[in-house]
């Protein structure tokens, strides 16, 4: 395992849509392991592959109840709304209030190519949405309804 450099705001990779993973091999396992080490070292709750320089549909989340690896994740159901502050390892020092679904159901693959469904509520749902947005080149600031410094940015709720 190795610490990866976290890509920061302004890098164009953060605005690009990621490619689906087709090979579930040792390179993918190494990427997942490195991402986990990097996320925990940075004290984050999620990390997406473009944040470490890879345009692959790979994300990880750990909101305190164990590491979840998501390969080619898709939100298949969402319910309710939750208005909360969030930040991002690629945007250090910035936070914004976003509106995310309160509950989401995600279909994804594990590191060995096995398909699974997982549900998230509250913070876990927010983290799933945040990381999946990264895979589509969308930052949390684009979902902001307000920025921490009081600037108002009007956005529609999650659709």
Secondary structure class of 126 (helix, strand, coil): helix
Which tens digits make up the pLDDT trace of 132-156? 999 999 999 999 987 655 444 444 4
What pTM does this model have?
0.91
Domain 12-147 class, CATH top level? alpha beta
Give Rg (Cα) of the chain: 15
**Catalytic site positions:** 131
Q: Which residues of the chain have pLDDT under 50?
A: 150-159
Listed by start position, the domains of the chain span 12-147
């Amino acid at each position: 395992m190795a610490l990866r450099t976290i890509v920061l705001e302004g890098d164009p990779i953060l605005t690009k849509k990621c490619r689906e993973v087709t090979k579930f091999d040792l390179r993918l396992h190494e990427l997942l392991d490195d991402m986990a080490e990097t996320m925990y070292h940075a004290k984050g709750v999620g990390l997406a592959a473009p944040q470490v320089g890879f345009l692959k549909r790979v994300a990880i989340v750990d909101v305190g109840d164990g590491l979840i690896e998501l390969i080619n994740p898709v939100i298949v159901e969402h319910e309710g709304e939750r208005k909360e502050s969030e930040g991002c390892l690629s945007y250090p020092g910035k936070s914004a209030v976003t509106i995310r679904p309160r509950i989401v159901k995600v279909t994804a693959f594990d590191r060995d190519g096995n398909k699974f469904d997982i549900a998230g509520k509250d913070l876990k749902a927010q983290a799933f949405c945040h990381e999946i947005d990264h895979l589509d080149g969308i930052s949390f600031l684009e979902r902001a309804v307000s920025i921490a410094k009081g600037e108002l940015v009007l956005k529609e709720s999650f659709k």
